[in-house]
Amino acid sequence: MIRKKIKEILLFFLTVLLFLLIIFLFKIFIFSSNDNPEKEEKYIDPVGVGNYIQEEIISKKENKTEKKEEDFDFSKISAELDRIEKEENSKKIIYKYIPNHISGKSKTLAYKKVFDTFFLSKPINNKIKSLEIVLARDAFEVRGRLRDRKIFIYDLYELSFKESLSVAIHEFGHYLDLYLLKKNVFKDLSDKFYSISWEETNIIKAASKTQDFVSGYAMTNMYEDFAESFNFYVLHNLEFQKRAGKSEKLLKKYKFFRKYVFTDGEFVTDEYSFKIEKDYIWDTTKLDFDLVKFKKYLEKFDKK
């Protein structure tokens, strides 16, 4: 009997506690939410309210109902975007100097500016992720070479601006051939070019003629054939076309660059090329061209 009474008392107290707990929770989740906006409002910057009041005052004083929108200067925005793009593109090209102290010399900077004409242009820069160019003051056995994925230009101050750039374009042809064209275990895109004239690295196919190559130096091996043809395509495109009309193999080489490298018709022009009188060319990097017009031609792509 006593136990039963104790149970009833405990049950009563538990019921009361449960009821109070429900009321407490109900108050927190339902009623307390009304306080939050008041607490948060003091952290909100009342810009919208101020603008509304200000516009109302202006409307009353000047009897205006519309606020004129400020025009955006899209030309300035476009110019800034172009500046940022050029800055990002320039980061892809890393210059090193031998010896290092020539880096700040005005003559060195002039050569660098010439190289930038080509390497920062959209048709070329878009193909590059990162490229190191080493400018060396002293002479070497060659004027330029590709080594360890770097382009080296030697005897810098003794080369004319045009010749140094032509050598750099030739060396970039090697870089494109070895590192940029699509390659995998089963297929190397460069093989399509090599197979036109070459049995092996330095063995020319039978029945090949001098006219099948853009220069005598291109006949050294299949890699020099690629680099010389690349340089000739970039700097003397229409002359390349003209000579390709007399050689089926040379035409295939021209079409290779047109189809796989410059698919949008870049460099198909004679705007900066000079007429080449001689039939036989030993070295395409020695051929003359108009550097100023070449620069202007490349600048056109920045405006597209």
pLDDT in the model for residue 38: 37
Domains of the chain in sequence order? 2-32+40-62 (no CATH), 76-302 (3.40.390)
pLDDT in the model for residue 21: 72
Residue-wise pLDDT tens digits, 86-113: 566 678 999 999 999 999 999 999 999 9
pLDDT in the model for residue 15: 78
pLDDT in the model for residue 74: 61
pLDDT in the model for residue 7: 66
pLDDT in the model for residue 124: 97
List the chain residues with pLDDT less than 50: 28-58, 64-70
**Rounded-to-integer distance, Cα 95 and Cα 4, Å:** 96
pLDDT in the model for residue 86: 58
pLDDT in the model for residue 39: 35
Residue-wise pLDDT tens digits, 237-272: 999 999 999 999 999 999 999 999 999 999 999 999
